[in-house]
Amino acid sequence: MTNTTSVWGTADVSSGKGASDENFPVGSLLISKRLRPHVHAYYDYARVIDDIADSEALAPDDKITRLNAMEEVLLGKREPINRPDAQSAATLRRSLLQTHVPFETATDLLIAFRDDSRGHVYQTWDDLLQYCRYSANPVGRYLIGLHEESSAAFVPSDALCTSLQILNHLQDCAGDLKRLKRCYIPADMMQRCGTSQDDLLAGSTSPAMRRVFNTMLDGVDALNQQASALAAHIRDRRFRMECAAIVELAHCLTRRLRREDPLAGRVALRRADGMHAAIAALRAWA
């Protein structure tokens, strides 16, 4: 094993974001107290590798070097140095060994973040779905494994996680392009509708770009419909409530993105949406 500071570099990649900055609950009170520390270990690791991929202080090759080092720590191939990013991988390793959740739920995320680091271009909707397979779907599969639920929940969980990822891309499409030179809007959709990436920086949504957004939201609606079956596959009552609430929030945000302009300002969930999610959670209690 090696333990060299040069692999990790000195640049601080922390975004300063935390669980409170997310659209959807992270390790909420609906998750049992016994499992919450494991959820937070997974979230902390995911936040670190996301911050590495999104860092404006690192070159693409340096990002990939750090991501590879995180994977080596996670798999026990490298001793972690005494730094929060390396320690997050070591903490998750201990958690996964204790809970027997597959390591793929953590290593698959790195596939997507390496693509982000390289500046991958998404030509089609299928390209975007493939990205979400690694950037988002492992999160749901991790929680399903942690709760020892059936693999029958994977399909609706994957649909929900992909929906949430695409909704986030739509919320942040202007900022992603401006700050990170990154675009998750499928190029072929923009071409068919007579628009381009440049229009994402216009400050308001053109009719052509609105057609692109609506086409993507049609796909998200289909994903949300699949995701609606998730709660029925979950035995743990508290986790079932959590799933039902998040599915409802996905529906709420999809409707908001149809009505509001994500290029004029961030389209966010409102208090009323939280109330709808709470009602959905209560219905799932039975």
Whether residue 225 is predicted with pLDDT greater than 50 in this model: the reply is yes
149 and 246 in a single domain? The answer is yes
What is the token pair recorded at 73? 């720590």
Give me the number of domains the chain comprises.
2
The answer to whether 177 touches 183, Cβ cutoff 8 Å, is yes
pLDDT at residue number 143: 97
The average pLDDT across 213-219 equals 98
Q: Which of 97, 119, 141 is the last residue of a domain?
A: 119
- pLDDT greater than 70 at residue 77: yes
The Cα–Cα gap between 149 and 233 comes to 8
Give the list of residues 6+ apart from residue 110 with CB closer than 8 angstroms, or none: 49, 67, 70, 71
Looking at the structure, do residues 68 and 132 belong to the same domain, yes or no? no
Which residue has better confidence, 93 or 120? 93
What is the average per-residue pLDDT within 254-267? 97
Better pLDDT: 10 or 179: 179
* Cβ partners under 8 Å of residue 199, min gap 6: 206, 208, 209
Q: What percent of the chain has pLDDT over 90?
A: 85
> Both 271 and 188 in a single domain?
yes
- For residue 58, the 8-state DSSP code is S
Of 119, 140, 160, the position where a domain reaches its end is 119
User: Is 15's pLDDT higher than 90?
Assistant: no
Q: Report residue 102 CA to chain centroid gap.
A: 18
| Residue 172 lies in domain | 121-286
Residues 102, 68 within the same domain: yes
Per residue in 132-160, pLDDT tens? 999 999 999 999 999 999 999 999 999 99
Instruction: Report residue 7's pLDDT band, with 50, 70 and 90 as the boundaries.
Output: confident
**Rounded to whole angstroms, how far apart are CA atoms 77 and 70?**
10
Does 140 share its domain with 275?
Answer: yes
At 158-175, the pLDDT tens digits run: 999 999 999 999 999 999
Average pLDDT over residues 16-26: 54
Token code pair at residue 120: 């991958």
pLDDT-derived band at 34, boundaries 50, 70, 90 = very high
> Which of 3-12, 80-89, 101-110, 125-134 is the least confident region?
3-12
Residue 57 has pLDDT above 70, yes or no: yes
pLDDT at 258 over 60: yes
Over range 172-186, report the average pLDDT: 95
Asked whether residue 162 falls in the same domain as residue 82, the answer is: no
